[in-house]
Amino acid sequence: MKIKAWFKKQTKKKARIYILPTRMGGYLNGLIFLMFLLSLGYSNNLLLIFTLILFGFNLLWVIQTHYYLHALRPDTVVIHDSFAGENAVVEISWKSTPDGPHQWEISLESYAETFRLGRTGLVAFPKRGVWDFFHLQLRTEMPFGLYRAWIYLPIKTRAYVYPEKLKVSPPIQVLPSLNEGDISSLLKGPDDYLNLSSYQGEESRKIYWKHYARSGELLVKEGEEFKTPEIRFHLSSDNKDKEWELSKMATQMVQCLKADTPFMLETPRLKTKHDKSERHLKECLRELSQC
């Protein structure tokens, strides 16, 4: 295992191209070698000439397969954030590509893991965390299918994998907070208002619609309590079932964004403010992926 790991490490130091024959390529090489032996054994010059011609074409196919990968020049590799177990989108841009159909088997490689990309450019990570990738492995049998070539292209990219989302989101505990100028719920009167006054063009949400339905008169509720729900997610360092707790938080944060509800996150190393933007959600989920 140590020798294999050492050899694999050596092959990735430079962007070298490695070529081996496929099954059909092996049959072809075996046939050429057999024809060469027969031409020498029977002193058949015509068979020798035909063998050399076939060998020349075979060498040309090797060179063409080498060129198919040699012309590749990656520019950027971006891995979009994703949840564990779900497909992440991988965007690869190239400085230059060879002519002809592009049929590559692409894999992302770190020092310990290898993830093969599908034809749609998607990859699924099995668990949460921050994954650093240093090589892009490309394999191909193009253009003739007689030789298999691969290359390790050096890259440097990172993938943030959030905790796995739960199928059913647990209920969220909402802590009500009062906006500036609002009246505390301890002072509420009947029907959640303290007084009524005539309508003077105020916001429609302040109109007492129940009274309007009964009498047809527009009145405005004064002193109504307007609550803004605020969610506080707290992750303690001594949590027994940490992975489930992280998954629960990640699932509930997504629900908060859909419900346009501000939330904050507090971990042993980070404390955010209440917010309900996608940027804030991404920041919190990235923090959960590293906890």
Q: Where are the domains of the chain?
A: 10-162, 183-222, 227-290
Q: Check residue 180 and give its pLDDT.
A: 32
Residue 135 pLDDT exceeds 80: yes
β-strand partners of 196: 221
Question: For residue 12, what pLDDT is reported?
Answer: 62
Q: Name the pTM for this structure.
A: 0.68
Does residue 205 or residue 27 have the better pLDDT? 27
Reduced 3-state DSSP string for 44-112? CHHHHHHHHHHHHHHHHHHHHHHHHHHCCEEEEEEECCEECCCEEEEEEEEEECCCCCCCCEEEEECCC
Give the tokens for residue 45.
Answer: 């010059």
Average pLDDT score over the chain: 79
Q: Which of 8-12, 63-67, 76-80, 231-235 has the highest mean pLDDT?
A: 76-80
Distance separating alpha carbons of residues 90 and 104, to the nearest angstrom: 15
| pLDDT of 194 above 50 | no
* Res. 183: pLDDT tops 80: no
User: Would you say residue 225 has pLDDT above 50?
Assistant: no
Mean pLDDT over 206-213 rounds to 67
Give 181's pLDDT tier (boundaries 50, 70, 90). very low
Q: Name the token pair of 101.
A: 């159909």
**b/e per residue, 242-266, with b = 16+ CB within 10 A?**
eeebbbbbbbbbbebbeeebbbbbe
Segment 57-95, tens digit of pLDDT: 999 888 888 887 887 777 889 999 999 999 999 998 888
Across the range 206-223, mean pLDDT stands at 67
How far is Cα 52 from Cα 186, in angstroms, rounded to an integer? 99
pLDDT at 187: 34
- Quote the longest CA-to-CA distance of the chain: 117
Compute the average pLDDT of residues 165-189.
52
Name the pLDDT band for 3 (thresholds 50, 70, 90).
low
pLDDT band at 110 (very low <50, low <70, confident <90, very high): confident
